[in-house]
Amino acid sequence: MGAGVIGKDGGSGRRGRRHGGRARPMAEINVTPFVDVMLVLLIIFMVAAPLMVVGVPVKLPETAANSLPTEQEEPLTVTVTAEGAVMIQTTETARDDLIPKLRSIAAERDSDRIYLRADGAVPYEQVMQVMGALNRGGFKNIGLVTDPGGPSLDGGS
């Protein structure tokens, strides 16, 4: 793939003939295929990376809790932003429409698990109101999402 043989006279001779001397190996490497592959991979990762996260930016509180096991279905997430807006996945939903939408979603899903994400600046009362709406909407298995690395409250850090 890039290695070859150059004749003593600089490669001007015919193939298969050697004119009285040893041929020296060509020391050039063709990097064009390597660059092509790297550019394709770069484009793939640039397109795929933004699709790997939920699109609602919130600053989650940090806790020492362990992660929950993963499921077969795509996890359903309700988010409360710092401004108090309620989002189902990435769609903003009015608080009055939250329970009817949750009931229709619960009727279509096999699992009653739902994840609640809330910005750390949101008052506890608003988070509990949304949690009550999730319960009334048919979801009994509510997981609270936090960022790991917070205080463990056991005297350690």
Which sequence spans correspond to the domains of the chain? Answer: 5-51, 62-148
Q: What residues does 144 pair with on adjacent strands? A: 116
**Residues 126-157: tens digit of each pLDDT:** 999 999 999 999 888 888 888 877 777 776 55
**How far apart are the C-alpha atoms of 102 and 88, rounded to whole Å?**
9
Classify 134 as helix, strand or coil: helix
CATH topology of domain 62-148: Nucleotidyltransferase; domain 5 (3.30.420)
- Average pLDDT, integer, range 75-90: 90
Neighbours of 69 (CB within 10 A): 5
pLDDT at 17 over 70: no
Pick from 74, 80, 68, 78: nearest CA to 52:
74
pLDDT at 30 over 80: yes
Neighbours of 98 (CB within 10 A): 19
Token code pair at residue 119: 């910005």
85 within 8 A of 116, measured Cβ to Cβ: no
Q: How confident is the model at residue 90 (pLDDT cuts 50, 70, 90)?
A: confident
**Type and span of the H or E element at 156:** none
- State residue 37's pLDDT score: 94
CA 87 to chain centre: 19
- State residue 140's pLDDT score: 87
Classify 72 as helix, strand or coil: coil
Q: How confident is the model at residue 80 (pLDDT cuts 50, 70, 90)?
A: very high
